[in-house]
Amino acid sequence: MSDAPVTQRKRHQLWRLAGVAAAMFGFGFALVPLYRVVCQLVNLNGKDAALVTASSVHEEPDLSREVTVQFTTQVNGGRDWGFRSEMPSIKVHPGQLYTVSFTARNPEDQELVAQAVPSVTPWDAARYLKKTECFCFRQQPFKAGEEKSMPVRFMIERELPADVDTVTVSYTFFDVTAQARAARSQPQS
């Protein structure tokens, strides 16, 4: 009896398993960009493209209503940057501009570059938060030991649903020093 058919079946099965593993790897690799696209399309997870671009606003306060805006901060990667809001929360009138400052400090003895990524909860409130100025719009370079005050100028639009009385704005600081250096070293075209 020949072992050739058994060996051929084993080889065929091995190729099938390798193909399945490659397909699984490709699917896993594609999930991150797919997730970002879906989040932007449906404003999932409080991530809205408007959160990282300047808006133009028209001030017309609704003085009959107050909304509490809470600010939370965190630093990705466990760095001790002392990143915080100078006000943990503020009561605002929809339709009126407000400014809140955040501070961050680079405790290291080398230059660092940070990028803040915002998110808003409840997720459907993100479309009603308009920012005219925010440190999250661009990367923030820090010299060794430098501390910065970084303002956010924002408005909650009057159209915020009446059942929303608290909006939480969260900022996560990421160390993007390596990416900023790589971008600077790229030749300009």
pLDDT tens figures, 157-169: 999 999 999 999 9
Interval 90-105 mean pLDDT: 96
In whole numbers, what is the pLDDT of the chain averaged over residues? 84
More confident residue, 23 or 172: 172
Contact 104, 85 (CB under 8 A): no
More confident residue, 102 or 44: 102
pLDDT at 79 over 90: no
Strand pairing class (84-85; 129-133): unpaired
Bridge partners for 71 per DSSP: 169
46: left (phi over 0), alpha (psi -120 to 50) or beta: left
- Alpha carbon 78 to chain centroid distance? 16
Closest CA to 97 of 54, 58, 48: 58
CA distances from 11 to 3, 15, 85, 96, 189 (A): 12, 6, 61, 70, 50
pLDDT at 131 over 50: yes
- Which pLDDT band, with edges at 50, 70 and 90, does 118 fall under? very high
pLDDT tens figures, 37-66: 555 554 444 444 444 445 566 789 999 999
- Looking up tokens 């999250």 gives 136
pLDDT at 152 over 90: yes
Interval 114-140 mean pLDDT: 92
Give, as one character, the DSSP assignment of residue 188. Answer: P
